[in-house]
Amino acid sequence: MPVAPHPARFPRNPGIPLDLDWVSSVQANTSAVERRAGSLGARRSVKKDYQAAWLLRAITLMDLTTLNGDDTRGKVRRLCAKAKRPLRQDLVEALGVQDLNITTGAVCVYHDMIGTAVEALEGSGIPVAAVSTGFPDALSPFHLRVQEIEESVKAGAAEIDIVISRRHVLSGDWQALYDEMRAYREACGEAHVKAIISTGNLGSLRNVARASHVCMMAGADFIKTSTGKESVNATLPVSLTMVRTTREYEARTGYKIGFKPAGGISKAKDALVYMSLMKEERGNDWLEPDLFRFGASSLLGDIERQLEHFVTGRYSAAFRHGIS
């Protein structure tokens, strides 16, 4: 099964040798980050006239996800149908966006559901992302985790969301984390790789920042907060910390790395805050699906509900003109 080409507008990150001096120099000022993240909603609210446009954009940034033990092929097919037509037709017409072919950024499933999703999405241009490496805990034998990636790529996943071993971070074994991520990167081949660093398990923002850097050095295309299965998932302070590491990495290497907050993002207003964060910290390039995704299973429903409040054609003009 051929893998869809890497969708990025920019050269992909080949990684660099592990730079331990750089890693140990990485610090995080927790109280400053928390203050900044806490004031984001007040500083960067999206003007009412643009909210529908932002919400439509949020749909295009979404990895529409189902990762449940009771997933069935029927449920995955319904999810894919939703990814292709995320909004009801009457809403699409009322918003005046019939010609824009708005779809979600990707559909994200477990390995066993890749074939079903690939078939259901055929011809839509929507990539299938697969969670891999013994998701969500990454505690299966290493060779099986690597093999899982290879099998998922073979089954047609164009994007692989790997999970790092948290113990490497908690014990400060950066070489082990780098080697693990490097092996995952290689197993992905041409597939796009997102490194889930499971921020809720890492204990400190400094660990979050260091783990992010090591994964980027080892070739991650995206860094992703969490699996959605931990008790603490995406938060604004964690996101701000990670997004800033992408800026530092780009400044040193020239490579742009994407960011994916995931887990517990289920409200349209939260999506707007995350998008504001991206715009403020990284600019408009990071409001495109090759550099930003939401990992979310229930966000789309709330966005659809909120868009019902905007059923008037004039908002399509705002969407066409982009975000400001």
Ligand X SMILES: O=C[C@H](O)COP(=O)(O)O
Which residues make up the interface to ligand X (CB under 6 A)?
A: 65, 67, 108, 227-228, 262-264, 266, 295-298
Length in residues, the chain: 324
Q: Which of 177, 223, 219 is nearest to 197 (CA)?
A: 223
Name the active-site residue from 224, 256, 279, 302. Answer: 224
Least separation, in Å, of the C-beta of 228 and ligand X? 2
Rg of the chain, C-alpha, whole Å: 19
CB atoms within 10 A of CB 120: 21
What is the b/e burial string over 183-220, where b = at least 16 CB atoms within 10 angstroms of the residue's CB? bbbebbeebbbbbbbbbbbbeebebbbbbbbbbbbbbb
- The answer to whether residues 274 and 294 touch, using CB atoms and an 8 Å cutoff, is yes
Active site residue 267: no
Distance separating alpha carbons of residues 311 and 321, to the nearest angstrom: 18
CA 97 from centre of chain: 25
194 catalytic? Reply is no
Whichever of 56 and 262 has its CB closer to ligand X, that residue is: 262
Q: How near is the Cβ of 243 to ligand X at its closest, in Å? A: 17
Rank residues 64 and 95 by Cβ distance to ligand X and give the closer one. Answer: 64
Residue from 194, 256, 260, 279 carrying the catalytic annotation: 260
CB 4 within 8 A of CB 158: yes
Tell the smallest beta-carbon distance from residue 31 to ligand X (Å). Answer: 27
Q: Which of 63, 161, 221, 302 is catalytic?
A: 161
Least distance (Å) from ligand X to the CB of residue 233?
6
- 154 catalytic, yes or no? no
Sole residue written with tokens 């290879």: 150
At 192 the three-state DSSP class reads strand
Q: Where are the beta strands (DSSP E) in the chain?
A: 62-65, 106-109, 128-131, 159-163, 192-196, 222-224, 258-260, 294-296
Q: Which CB, 229 or 244, lies closer to ligand X?
A: 229
Best CA proximity match to 124, nearest among 75, 84, 78: 84
- Are 156 and 128 a contacting pair, CB within 8 Å? yes
Name which of 131 and 240 has its Cβ closer to ligand X. 131
Q: Give the nearest distance from C-beta 259 to ligand X in angstroms.
A: 13
Nearer to ligand X by Cβ, of 108 and 218: the residue is: 108
Residue number with CB closer to ligand X (124 or 266): 266
User: In the bound complex, what is the minimum distance in angstroms from residue 100's beta carbon to ligand X?
Assistant: 25
Q: Tell me the residue number closest to ligand X, measured at CB.
A: 228
Task: Show which residues are catalytic.
Answer: 161, 224, 260
